[in-house]
Amino acid sequence: MRRPRALVLLPAVAALALAACGSSGGEAPSPAGAAGTASSGQGPRGELTVFAAASLHEAFEELGHQVEADHPGVTVSFSFAGSSDLVSQVLAGAPADVLATANEATMRQAVDGGAVAGEPVVFAENVLTLVVPPGNPAVVTGLDASLDRAKLVVCAPQVPCGAATAELARLEGVQLHPVSEESSVTDVLGKVSSGQADAGLVYTTDATGAGQAVQVVNVPGADQVVNRYPVAALAESRHPELARLWVDTLTGDAGRTVLADAGFRLP
pTM assigned to the model: 0.80
Residue 32 lies in a domain: no
Same domain, 71 and 190: no
Same domain, 134 and 201: yes
Q: The domain spanning residue 55 has which CATH number?
A: 3.40.190.10
Q: What is the pLDDT of residue 40?
A: 45
Q: What is the pLDDT of residue 7?
A: 33
Domain total in the chain: 2
Residue 248 lies in a domain: yes
Alpha-carbon gap, residue 213 to 217, rounded angstroms = 13
Sign of dihedral through CA atoms 57, 62, 67, 72?
positive
**pLDDT over 60 at 61, yes or no:** yes
Give the residue numbers spanning the domain of 79.
46-125+228-261
83 annotated ligand binder: yes
Residue 4 lies in a domain: no
pLDDT band at 41 (very low <50, low <70, confident <90, very high): low
**pLDDT over 60 at 9, yes or no:** no
203 annotated ligand binder: yes
**pLDDT over 90 at 152, yes or no:** yes
Same domain, 98 and 179: no
For residue 135, what is the DSSP state?
A: T
DSSP bridge partners of 46: 74
Same domain, 111 and 138: no
Residue 89 lies in a domain: yes
Residue 27 lies in a domain: no
Inter-residue contact 103 to 95 (CB < 8 Å): no
Same domain, 220 and 235: no
Q: Which amino acid is present at 264? A: F
**pLDDT over 50 at 130, yes or no:** yes
Same domain, 133 and 119: no
229 annotated ligand binder: no
User: Cβ contacts of residue 180 below 8 Å, gap of 6+?
Assistant: 153, 191, 197
Sign of dihedral through CA atoms 235, 236, 238, 243?
negative
Q: What is the pLDDT of residue 35?
A: 29
What average pLDDT does range 192-198 have in this prediction? 97
